[in-house]
């Protein structure tokens, strides 16, 4: 059993946190997942995408029976006030695929923050981000949190979410989707080869790399601090659309 398990899409998102942790293998619905363990904590790498995150979360429950699961990783800003390196702890997660909504109710002494995170089916560019704001009133977009939230609700496991901004609202993303394989792994070598042949894209690739590094550092600092604080569990419930619009989901974030 583990007190808390963090689920991240890619190892590189949480690598600074994992120095000194024990690397182990975890069975996850027919595929081997990479996990890292330290005392009563664990970090599991799910692969990119909602379905991969949900499968990993179910494997986590079966293997660790955790008190709390945390969906952690990098995300895109949907509003201009969120800058690279901002750490956001949303209290509402919306699945863009079917409109399912989940609220994580922070208790006294637990995770603060608020606002809406939208889990999308693919990496969101500027046009897609604008639509997510209009449709869901979102602050942040990722590709995994709703999968973890769904598994947490169905297994009655406490759920939290923390994301760090790697791409700002108006940032023009390279076509990263084509470099994600069916297992949810990002093929960095193929992407580097693609970028090397397109010098007119070098500036945005450099900015994305720099901002991703800034976000990774901020995320891991947040996790190190708050995991050590032994966060109390939070109850996860579904809510109706009215719950997003009545002022009960306050917006807060921490800019670095």
Whole-number pLDDT of residue 94:
95
Is 153 inside a domain boundary? yes
Residue 186 lies in a domain: yes
Q: What's the pTM?
A: 0.83
Residue 171: CATH number of its domain: 3.40.50.1580
> Mean of the pLDDT values across residues 4-23?
94
Domain membership of residue 201 (yes or no) is yes
In whole angstroms, what is the distance from residue 104 CA to residue 90 CA?
A: 8
Task: Tell me the pLDDT tens digit for each residue of 53-70.
Answer: 999 999 999 999 999 999
| E-only strand ranges, the chain | 4-8, 22-28, 31-38, 41-45, 68-77, 87-88, 92-95, 101-105, 116-119, 140-142, 158-167, 235-238
User: What is the structure's pLDDT at 113?
Assistant: 61
Is the predicted pLDDT of residue 226 greater than 80, yes or no?
yes
133-192: pLDDT as tens digits: 999 999 999 999 999 999 999 999 999 999 999 999 998 887 777 777 777 777 778 888
170 CB-side CA count, 13 A = 2
In a domain, 46, yes or no: no
> Residue 163 and residue 72: Cα distance in Å, rounded?
6
Query: Would you state the pLDDT for residue 179?
Result: 72
User: Does some domain include residue 1?
Assistant: no
Return d(Cα 75, Cα 84) in angstroms, integer: 10
Alpha carbon distances (Å) from 122 to 51, 65, 130, 144: 12, 30, 14, 10
Q: List the domain range (segments joined by +) for residue 203.
A: 74-245
Phi, psi of 34 (to 5 degrees): -90, 130
Q: Angle formed by the axes of helices 145-154 and 50-64, to 10°?
A: 40
> Is 40 among the domain residues?
no
Residue 109 located in a structural domain: yes
Is the predicted pLDDT of residue 239 greater than 60, yes or no?
A: no
What total of structural domains would you count in the chain?
1
16 within domain boundaries: no
């Amino acid at each position: 059993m583990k007190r808390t398990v963090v689920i991240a899409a890619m190892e590189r998102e949480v690598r600074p946190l994992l120095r000194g942790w024990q690397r182990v293998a975890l069975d996850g619905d027919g595929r081997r997942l990479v996990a890292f363990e330290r005392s009563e904590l664990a970090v599991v790498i799910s692969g990119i995408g909602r379905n991969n995150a949900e499968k990993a979360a179910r494997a986590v429950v079966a293997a660790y029976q955790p008190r709390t699961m945390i969906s952690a990783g990098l995300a895109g800003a949907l509003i201009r006030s969120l800058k690279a390196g901002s750490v956001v702890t949303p209290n509402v997660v919306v699945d863009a695929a079917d409109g399912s909504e989940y609220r994580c109710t922070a208790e006294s002494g637990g995770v603060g923050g608020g606002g809406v995170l939208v889990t999308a089916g693919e990496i969101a560019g500027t046009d897609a981000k604008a639509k997510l704001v209009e449709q869901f009133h979102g602050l942040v977009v990722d590709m995994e949190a709703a999968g973890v939230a769904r598994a947490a609700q169905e297994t009655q496991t406490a759920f939290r979410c923390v994301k760090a901004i790697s791409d700002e609202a108006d940032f023009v993303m390279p076509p990263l989707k084509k470099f994600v394989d069916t297992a949810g792994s990002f093929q960095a070598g193929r992407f580097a080869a693609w970028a090397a042949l397109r010098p007119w894209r070098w500036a945005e690739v450099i900015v994305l790399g720099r901002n991703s590094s800034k976000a990774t550092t901020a995320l891991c600092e947040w996790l190190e601090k708050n995991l050590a604080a032994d966060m109390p569990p939070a109850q996860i419930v579904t809510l109706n659309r009215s719950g997003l619009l009545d002022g009960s989901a306050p917006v807060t974030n921490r800019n670095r």
